[in-house]
């Protein structure tokens, strides 16, 4: 594998380069690169040895990865993460993750609520600056398709429900009864496609993402890693954390991101979206959808 022609000069350039070359990287480089992109705040304040233990790679892997990406060494690569941290006042929120791993409490409910707060705090610095671009892409789209399967379905349904309150040209890709091929054929070049998925990534989510790119639509990935299968070619990648002491992943951060994304769309669309929302709410009341006390 050839070395990059020149090293990236910003974190955004670094992320773009890693996503572009990720598939062709050797497995150890993939593991190291994924950890760097998914834990940028930690990279800025931790030693290479500590990072290598958490990423489960050798410390030398980070050095070779840095050189592969065009840097002279690890220090030059890490400098981009330090620079990013200086410009992000809430980047220390990643430390909240450590709370989830406490073993000195036997109160499961308390640990679960702690995990939810930790995921929210960890996700905000990852995604806050990415959501505005995604919201603008949604507003420009002729039609919006939303997909999420299995555990991610609840988030895709929430997005669809909220968006449909003030926009009719929104569809939920369900893929039920083998209909996914027909639903994917409806994606067009001027559309936007939101795909929600996290590890282990569903094959259906990857198919929807691939169909979006083949159609020339804008792909917005809501996922847990910048190098997730649905994220590598996404136009907008919004990350969330889902760690939990429970057997089931936490959906708190993903829910917050879904709600925030819709709020951003409304704020940009201004009075037009609000007017349509008022009409929808009026219709729901008039048709007896709600019980009036």
pLDDT score recorded for residue 280? 67
Return averaged pLDDT per consecutive 10 residues of the chain, 293 residues in all.
Answer: 74 90 94 91 88 92 94 93 68 41 59 83 81 94 96 96 92 86 94 95 94 97 93 93 80 94 87 73 72 70
pLDDT score recorded for residue 71? 94
What are 171-185's pLDDT values in tens digits? 999 988 778 989 999
Select from 3.30.1330.60, 3.40.50.720, 3.30.70.141, 1.10.10.10 the CATH code of 11-86: 1.10.10.10
pLDDT score recorded for residue 93? 41
Select from 1.10.287.110, 3.10.20.30, 3.50.50.60, 3.40.50.10490 the CATH code of 123-286: 3.40.50.10490
Query: Could you check whether 11-86 and 123-286 share the same CATH topology?
Result: no
pLDDT score recorded for residue 96? 41
What are 17-64's pLDDT values in tens digits? 999 999 999 999 999 999 999 888 888 888 999 999 999 999 999 999
3-state secondary structure the chain: CCCCCCCCCCHHHHHHHHHHHHHHCCHHHHHHHHHHHHCHHHHHHCCHHHHHHHHCCCHHHHHHHHHHCCCCCHHHHHHHHHHHHHCCCCHHHHHHHHHHCCCCCCCHHHHHHHHHHHHHHHHHHHHHHHHHHHHHHHHHCCCEEEEECHHHHHHHHHHHHHHHCCCCCEEEECCHHHCHHHHHCCCCCCCEEEEECCCCCCHHHHHHHHHHHHHCCEEEEEECCCCCCCCCCCCEEEECCCCCCCCCCCCHHHHHHHHHHHHHHHHHHCHHHHHHHHHHHHHHHHCCCCCCC
pLDDT score recorded for residue 92? 37
pLDDT score recorded for residue 293? 67
For the chain, the domains span 11-86, 123-286
């Amino acid at each position: 594998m050839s070395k990059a022609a020149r090293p990236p000069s910003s974190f955004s350039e670094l992320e773009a380069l890693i996503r572009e070359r990720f598939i062709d990287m050797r497995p150890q480089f993939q593991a190291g690169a994924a950890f760097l992109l998914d834990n940028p705040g930690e990279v800025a304040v931790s030693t290479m040895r500590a990072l290598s233990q958490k990423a489960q790679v050798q410390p030398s892997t980070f050095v070779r990865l840095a050189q592969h990406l065009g840097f002279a060494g690890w220090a030059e690569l890490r400098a981009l993460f330090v620079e990013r941290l200086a410009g992000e006042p809430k980047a220390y929120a990643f430390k909240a993750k450590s709370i989830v791993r406490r073993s000195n409490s036997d109160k499961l409910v308390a640990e679960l609520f702690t995990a939810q707060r930790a995921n929210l705090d960890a996700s905000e610095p990852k995604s806050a600056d990415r959501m505005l671009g995604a919201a603008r892409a949604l507003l420009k789209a002729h039609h919006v398709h939303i997909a999420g399967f299995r555990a991610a379905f609840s988030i895709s349904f929430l997005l669809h429900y909220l968006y449909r309150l003030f926009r009719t040209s929104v569809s939920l890709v369900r893929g039920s009864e083998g209909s996914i091929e027909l639903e994917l054929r409806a994606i067009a070049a001027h559309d936007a496609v939101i795909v929600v998925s996290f590890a282990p990534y569903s094959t259906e989510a990857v198919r929807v993402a691939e169909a979006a790119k083949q159609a020339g639509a804008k792909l917005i990935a809501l996922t847990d890693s910048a190098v997730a299968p649905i994220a590598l070619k996404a136009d907008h990648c919004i990350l969330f954390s889902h760690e939990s002491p429970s057997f089931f992943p936490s959906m708190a951060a993903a829910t917050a991101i879904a709600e925030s994304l819709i709020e951003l769309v409304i704020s940009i669309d201004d009075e037009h979206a609000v007017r349509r929302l008022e009409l929808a709410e009026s219709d729901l009341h008039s048709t007896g959808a709600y019980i009036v006390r």
